[in-house]
A and B are shown apart, each in its own frame.
Chain A
Amino acid sequence: MRPTDPIPSPGTGGPGRRGFVLATGAAVAVTAGCSLNNPFNSAKTPAAEAADDLAPDVALAVTAVGALAQAQARIALVTKTFPALRPRVAGLTELHAAHLQALRAAVPKTVDPTPAEALPAVPASRTAALEQVAQTEQALHNRLVGLALRAESGPFARLLATMAAGLSQQLVASPLSGSPR
């Protein structure tokens, strides 16, 4: 940073999101000897079973996609029950889509990241339903932070951290607790 520069200008080096996805793709390719890489096997392996056969950061990506998919499914279920809540969670919906887009390519096609457990039923009141979404989002945030801490790749850690920070911004900008508007 130039001493006279009032606003620090950090380096923007590093491979960024695209670089991470390419790097993890390579990591999948070198995970030799497991059924996940068998081109003749089109069956999908559940994420929980696949984790042991994946490179560490790929396993984290699978976990992150699973957590995001669960949050997305929760919102879909709540807005199906209470369509009026759709504008209230529109920002989260867009955010999840963007985050999934950033991670999808890192997940091997033969792995099914969808969580095995069924989602709890939607509560009868809108307030309680929103509270349920808030809890899911908080859990997702905590999961992303935990994964960022565990990531071996620096760029991947950064990606997960920026996703968690984006989620925090969204939850502060559009709080879910309190009476539904």
Chain B
Amino acid sequence: MTPLDALQAALAAEHAAVYLTGVLGAQTSKAEQPVLYGSLLRAYRAHRRRRDQLTVLIAGRGGVPVSAAVAYELPAALDTVSDVNDAALQLERRIATTYGQLIENTTGAERRWALVALENSAVVQLEFRGTPEMFPGSSN
């Protein structure tokens, strides 16, 4: 995988993450689940920020940033607070793996950026009731 391919994969992942965290936020009551709502709002903003930064990185390499899909398939169940929380946790775990892949396929400033993104995503998992892992972002 080339560095540009890895950046495009990360951007595609962040497009999906922005969409999904938006949906999850809409499923969550700010009044009744303020903690989860706050976590989702911070996650949404972080994904949106990283999406924009990836767009700049890709354009800087002369690539054409991949576009977001019109829509994304949602998790089968989003009926309960627990469903929403689990979906958010799964999303962050997958994003962390994407950033692990980006670290593997880049060097220098891009790898440094991906390192920060991986760390952020790993820590955010704890907000969604994730437990510490030995190697968050690894491929196996």
Interface residues of A (CB under 8 A from B): 1-14, 16-17, 91, 94-95, 98-99, 102, 145, 148-149, 154-155, 157-159, 161-166, 168-170, 172-173
In contact, A165 and B95 (Cβ under 8 angstroms): no
Give the complex CA separation of A21 and B12 in angstroms.
31
Complex contacts, A98 vs chain B, CB 8 Å: 134-135
Complex contacts, A12 vs chain B, CB 8 Å: 97, 139-140
In contact, B135 and A162 (Cβ under 8 angstroms): yes
Q: Among A5, A94, A148, A173, which residue has its beta carbon within 8 angstroms of that of B115?
A: A148
Expressed in whole angstroms, the minimum distance between the Cβ of A61 and any Cβ of chain B is: 15
In contact, B9 and A149 (Cβ under 8 angstroms): no
Pull 14 A–B residue pairs with CB atoms less than 8 Å apart, ordered by A.
A2-B73, A4-B73, A5-B16, A6-B72, A6-B74, A7-B16, A8-B12, A8-B98, A16-B139, A95-B132, A162-B118, A165-B137, A169-B125, A173-B131
Expressed in whole angstroms, the minimum distance between the Cβ of A149 and any Cβ of chain B is: 6
B85 within 8 A of A: no
Complex contacts, A154 vs chain B, CB 8 Å: 103-105
Give the complex CA separation of A3 and B15 in angstroms.
10
In contact, A14 and B122 (Cβ under 8 angstroms): no
| Known interface pairs A7-B90, A91-B132; A168-B122 also in contact (CB < 8 Å) | yes
In contact, A13 and B1 (Cβ under 8 angstroms): yes
Complex contacts, B115 vs chain A, CB 8 Å: 145, 148-149, 161, 164
In contact, B12 and A168 (Cβ under 8 angstroms): no
Expressed in whole angstroms, the minimum distance between the Cβ of A49 and any Cβ of chain B is: 28
In contact, A1 and B103 (Cβ under 8 angstroms): no
- Count B interface residues, CB 8 Å: 51
Interface residues of B (CB under 8 A from A): 1, 9, 12-13, 16-17, 19-20, 23, 69-75, 87, 90-91, 94-98, 100-101, 103-105, 108, 111-112, 114-115, 118-119, 122-123, 125-126, 130-140
Please name the residue on chain A nearest to B66 by beta carbon: A1
| Known interface pairs A13-B1, A154-B103; A8-B119 also in contact (CB < 8 Å) | no
Give the complex CA separation of A149 and B108 in angstroms.
7
| Known interface pairs A149-B115, A162-B138; A9-B69 also in contact (CB < 8 Å) | no
In contact, A9 and B94 (Cβ under 8 angstroms): yes
Closest 10 CB pairs of A and B: A8-B13, A3-B69, A154-B104, A165-B122, A162-B135, A169-B132, A4-B73, A10-B98, A158-B104, A6-B72
| Known interface pairs A4-B72, A6-B20, A7-B16; A165-B90 also in contact (CB < 8 Å) | no
| Known interface pairs A1-B9, A158-B103, A165-B118; A173-B126 also in contact (CB < 8 Å) | yes
Complex contacts, B132 vs chain A, CB 8 Å: 91, 95, 166, 169-170, 173
In contact, A149 and B119 (Cβ under 8 angstroms): no
